[in-house]
Amino acid sequence: MAFPGFQVMVRAGADPARLDAALKELLALLDEVPHPPP
C-alpha cells in the first residue's frame, strides 16, 4: 500500500501520528466518493 509521497514522508522522518492522521483523512475522503453498486 503505497501512496504518492508516502515513502518520501517516511524518509523525511515524519511523525507516525501525523502519517496516521493523514491516512485516516485520505480514507475518509475516499469514503465520500460514491461507489457503484456491487
The CA-to-CA distance between both ends of the chain, in Å, stands at 23
* Distance between CA atoms of residues 25 and 38, nearest Å: 25
Residue 22 and residue 12 in contact, taking contact as beta carbons nearer than 8 Å: no
Q: What is the CA radius of gyration of the chain?
A: 13
Residue 2 confidence (pLDDT) above 60: no
pLDDT tens for 4-38 read 666 666 666 667 788 788 888 888 888 877 777 77
DSSP string, 1-38: ---TTHHHHHHTT--HHHHHHHHHHHHHHHHHSPPPP-
> What is the per-residue pLDDT for 28?
87
Residue that wins the pLDDT comparison between 7 and 2: 7
> What is the per-residue pLDDT for 10?
67
